[in-house]
Each structure stands twice: as C-alpha cells, then as structure tokens.
Amino acid sequence: MKLDDLKKNAKEDINKATLIKELESVRIKYLGRKGSLTNILHSIGDFPKEDRPLIGQTANKLKREITNLLEEKKKYLEESRALEWEDLSLPGRKTSKGSLHPLTILSQEIIDIFMSMGFSVVRGPEIETEYYNFNALNTPEDHPARDLHDTFYLKDGRLLRTHTSPVQIRTLEKHSPPLRIISPGRCYRVDTFDPTHSPTFVQIEGLWVDYDVSMSDLFGTLELFTKKIFGEGIRTEFLPGYFPFTEPSAEVWIQCPFCDGKGCSVCHSGLIEILGAGMVHPNILKNLGYSEFTGFAFGLGVDRIAMIKYNINDIRLFYQNDIQFLNQFNEIKL
C-alpha cells in the first residue's frame, strides 16, 4: 500500500515539474540518500521475512520506474527549452559606426602600394612660398607654365601650395639621394566648384632619385601601380606630356573602366588620364647640388582616381560631407 502511494506521489511530482532543477529535487525526495524510497529499501529488514522478497522486488522495480520517468521528463524539458520560440529576426544591438573619408581610404591604399615599393611618406606645409612652389621647380615667374596652376595668393605674398611637389624640394634639401619618397596632402587651385572642378583636392606626388634612374624605371613603377590599383588586366599607356619640372615628361593614361576602352562620354577615345610624370628636370637637381643623380617624379590626383574607381560623377561630393555619401566607403577589403 505504502509503495503504491509513493508511486502515485512520485509520478505526480514528476508531472508537475517544469524545470530541470525541480526534477532534481524530486529525485532527491525519492531516490536521494535520505529519499523515501531509499528509506524503504534500507528498512527492508523491518518487514516480516516472507514479505521481504516481494517488497524488495517491487521497491527495486519502482526505483527503476522513477529513474526512467525522471530521465524521460528531463529529456522532454531539455527539448522543450531548446525549442522555445524566439524572434531571431529582431535587429541586433549595434554599436555606432563611422568611417574614413573615401579620399583617406584611397590615399592609404596608394600609400601602401608605394611603401611596398620602397617609398617613404613625407609631409609638408600647405602655405608655401613662390620659391618652393614654383621657382625651385623650374617654373620662374612669367613662365607660361604658371597658367597651368591658378594659384591662391595670401596678402603677404605667399601662397597655398598648388601641388605637393614643394615637399620634394624640402626633403631633398635635408636628405641627399638616393631616396624614394611620396608626399600626400591637400592642394589648392583657383577653380570653379562644379561637378568636375574643385578649389581643393588631395594629391600624392612621388620622387625617386638615384644613380641612373631611367624612363624604363618610371614607366615600370607606374605600370605596376596602375595594375595594383585598377587590377592586373588594366591597359596602361604612356604619352608625351609637358611639365616644367620634368624632362622628358609623360602622361599616364589607362583604359577607360566605364566602357572597357571602347570610347564613351567620360573618356578620350577609350583612354582616361590618371597621372602626370617625368624625369626630374636637371636644373632642379643641379640647383640642389645633385648633378650626378637622375630621378623621376610623378603626381596623381586622389580625387580623380577615386572618381574613376568608385564611379563618382561629381567631385563636390568629396567636400559636401553627406553621411549618405560617406557611409558607402569601407577601408577593410578582404
């Protein structure tokens, strides 16, 4: 009789349990060291001798039964807990996100390429003198080449640099060749502010001065660069150009990525200009006392390359700082 009650109670307790830890209490209540069924099994000697086998058998059977029920229920509870429905489509908790400016991202990509090619990065002032911006670069006053750079002048006669080439002169004054440097930075030219012009832009200029640097080195360096920035398959063309600070001078054109070189409204019969370059004019090296060296220099507009690379048709977007624009760029590229 007692065992029947015990069985009934145990079953009820197991049914009522909704948590795994409640099941554990049930197990302790009946099967623990001081559990009621354990007590019965321990006190089996108190029963009349003839009843003992039956009681023993029944109690042991009941122990197995409760153990099984507990196991089943535990399994059930575990399963039901895992299946409890949660709306996983709710948006995740986010930390706020910002980003680098696309011109910073692209500048860095370009800097990384040239650093891997042995170029160091140097910087210089944005307010410059006529001397560093023009005269030291073989562009004297009243030289028609000055028309190429419409310059912002300050009231004190100095100017905002129109290119980062002055940094090359400043570096060569301090360090003698051989050297390889690039100088990134903001430059200024008097210009309208429209989809294709801006009074400010980001430029990266490079300089390599050594014994016997040649046009082959110049073209090889820049061809490798265009491949790294636009992809292995890009076609690079070198055309003669003119800059007062280089001789011979060259322009670097690539196959237009918008029409794959077929010709479109953006390009020039399938080509698009991305760089100016040339062999450093010997006057410049001579003035610095480095006649025994040759070198090459190049300059690229980061804005222009960004427009080509990211398919941006309005240069003003870089300086209007719309978050809808800025949040489309990401530095991490895998």
**Does residue 25 bind another protein (CB under 8 A)?**
no
List the one residue from 2, 43, 154, 176 that touches another protein (CB under 8 A).
Answer: 154
Tokens of 41: 């099994």
Helices (H), 231-330: 282-287, 302-310, 317-320, 323-326
Q: Which stretch binds another protein (CB under 8 A): 53-61, 64-72, 74-82, 145-153?
A: 145-153
Shortest Å, Cβ 91 to another protein: 7
List the one residue from 23, 37, 62, 122 that touches another protein (CB under 8 A).
Answer: 122
Alpha-carbon distances of 26 from 1, 43, 76, 78, 79, rounded to whole Å: 21, 21, 16, 16, 19
Query: How many CB atoms neighbour CB 253 within 10 A?
Result: 20
* Residue 136 or 277 with smaller CB distance to another protein: 277
283-191-299-120 Cα dihedral, nearest 10 degrees:
100
List the one residue from 220, 289, 311, 313 that touches another protein (CB under 8 A).
Answer: 220
**Does residue 131 bind another protein (CB under 8 A)?**
no
Alpha-carbon distances of 257 from 265, 272, 282, 307, rounded to whole Å: 12, 9, 36, 11
Shortest Å, Cβ 242 to another protein: 3
**Does residue 145 bind another protein (CB under 8 A)?**
yes
Q: Do 63 and 56 form a contact (C-beta atoms < 8 A)?
A: no
**Does residue 258 bind another protein (CB under 8 A)?**
no
List the one residue from 35, 166, 177, 184 that touches another protein (CB under 8 A).
Answer: 184
**Does residue 247 bind another protein (CB under 8 A)?**
yes
List the one residue from 148, 234, 264, 312 that touches another protein (CB under 8 A).
Answer: 148
